[in-house]
């Protein structure tokens, strides 16, 4: 295959040889992870957010969202139900909602870890490094902090004045604290080019991430980007396949956004280098309101059914839903 410098990446992003790209990514996934696919169960415990990201349906100025905040016991109960249904990783996710105190988040983490042998991932946005350190000491294992773009100017534009360098500083702090850290981008934001995506890919790969996530841009009708053109799902598949080539041991999810384009989207992702799926186990009553983009969380079955459907999807491809927590293999296999 073509050498994977910037020009080679652009060649494949442009669809230069999809068959070669996807089969190479699939082979690499196989040699790094065998047939195992990791399930990460997400509890989206609050859709309140103080930020104004132009692409996101949860942005603070969107008055059409039905906002919710789950109680502490309800969050723990959802996490425990997912663990009892077979999930080995619980992702605690919210908007940038600082109404939950550090002590309350610590309590949630401690009680989940005390009651079940699971990994806990935090996806809580721009909380301070000191808070993340406190939560690490309570047993949290991983953090997810998306960049959405690695271009500082575009970042400021799409996230409505937020500072890219501060986000990067936080990401570095999380790595220094000892978390497994994931990040990622949105593929096909307004005015984006494949050249920029190639730069994103190289930038993310240099960060030595334990997880890299990328999904196609889907314009939300209640955001400033509602008239924008939808991202190209094929470029999104190529991006994650290339991410696999550059990061053989990083966890790479087949995001739920893929299924919003194509009912087979996540399956195709798993056949093209991805090794993780992340079903929402948010209570059915709130799940549809975690509406970052149209079509997200459109499946409204209970936690047990959600996990079993995810496992069925994995088995249908002759993969195996992993019984392990799916801790980072990158750390054990860095060259
Ligand atoms: S992307 Fe995250 S921080 Fe930005 S508005 Fe949406 S939930 Fe809030």
The count of structural domains within the chain is: 1
CA 131/CA 120 separation, integer angstroms: 15
Ligand 1 mean position, distance from CA 51 (Å): 6
Atom 4 of ligand 1, residue of closest alpha carbon: 53
Residue 22 included in any domain: no
User: What is the model's pLDDT at position 158?
Assistant: 96
Q: Which of 49, 218, 291 to mutate to test the pocket of ligand 1 (most atoms within 8 A of CB)?
A: 49
User: 279 with 82: CB under 8 angstroms?
Assistant: no
CA 256/CA 79 separation, integer angstroms: 19
User: What is the model's pLDDT at position 335?
Assistant: 40
Minimal CA–CA distance to 306: which of 66, 58, 140, 78? 78
Query: Average per-residue pLDDT in the chain?
Result: 93
Residue 29 included in any domain: no
Hey, what are 195's tokens? 């050249």
Residue 21 included in any domain: no
User: 89 with 38: CB under 8 angstroms?
Assistant: yes
User: What is the model's pLDDT at position 303?
Assistant: 83
Q: Could you tell me the CA-to-CA distances from 288 to 21, 68, 101, 253, 293 in Å, in that order?
A: 35, 11, 25, 21, 11
Residue 319 included in any domain: yes
pTM of this prediction? Answer: 0.95
Residue 235 included in any domain: no
Residue 100 included in any domain: yes
Q: Which residues line ligand 1 (CB under 6 A)?
A: 49, 51, 53, 56, 58-59, 95-96, 125, 292
User: What is the model's pLDDT at position 95?
Assistant: 97
CA 75/CA 45 separation, integer angstroms: 6
Residue 159 included in any domain: yes
Ligand 1 mean position, distance from CA 5 (Å): 32
Range of 57's domain? 36-195+211-229+252-264+276-324
CA 203/CA 207 separation, integer angstroms: 7
Q: Residue 83: which CATH number?
A: 3.20.20.70
Residue ranges of the chain whose pLDDT lies below 70: 1-3, 295-300, 331-335
CA of 59, closest atom in ligand 1:
5
Q: How many CB atoms lie within 10 A of CB 268?
A: 19
User: What is the model's pLDDT at position 298?
Assistant: 62
């Amino acid at each position: 295959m073509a050498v994977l410098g910037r020009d080679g990446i652009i060649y494949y992003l442009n669809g230069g040889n999809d068959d070669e790209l996807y089969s190479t990514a699939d082979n690499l996934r196989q040699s790094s992870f065998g047939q195992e696919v990791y399930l990460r169960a997400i509890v989206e415990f609050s859709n309140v957010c103080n930020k104004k990201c132009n692409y996101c349906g949860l942005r603070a100025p969107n008055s059409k969202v039905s906002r919710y905040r789950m109680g502490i016991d309800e969050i723990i109960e959802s996490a425990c139900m997912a663990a009892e249904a077979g999930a080995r990783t619980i992702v605690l996710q919210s908007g940038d909602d600082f109404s939950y105190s550090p002590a309350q988040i610590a309590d949630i983490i401690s009680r989940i870890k005390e009651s079940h042998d699971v990994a806990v991932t935090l996806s809580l946005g721009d909380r301070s490094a000191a808070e993340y350190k406190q939560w690490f000491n309570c047993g949290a294992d991983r953090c997810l902090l998306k960049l959405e773009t690695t271009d500082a100017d575009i970042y400021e534009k799409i996230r409505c004045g937020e500072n890219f360098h501060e986000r990067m500083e936080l990401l570095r702090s999380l790595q220094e604290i000892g978390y497994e850290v994931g990040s990622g981008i949105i593929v096909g934001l307004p005015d984006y080019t494949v050249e920029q995506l190639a730069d994103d890919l190289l930038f993310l790969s240099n960060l030595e991430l334990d997880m890299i996530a990328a999904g196609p841009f889907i314009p939300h009708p209640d955001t400033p980007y509602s008239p924008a053109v939808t991202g190209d799902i094929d470029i999104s598949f190529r991006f994650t396949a290339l991410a696999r080539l550059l990061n053989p041991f990083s966890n790479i999810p087949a995001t739920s956004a893929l299924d919003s384009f194509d009912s087979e989207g996540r399956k195709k992702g798993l056949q093209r280098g991805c090794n993780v799926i992340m079903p929402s186990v948010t209570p059915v009553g709130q799940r549809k309101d975690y509406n970052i983009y149209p079509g997200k969380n459109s499946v409204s079955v209970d936690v047990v059914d959600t996990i079993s459907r995810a496992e069925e999807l994995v088995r249908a491809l002759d993969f195996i839903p992993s019984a392990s927590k799916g801790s980072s293999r990158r750390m054990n296999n860095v060259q």
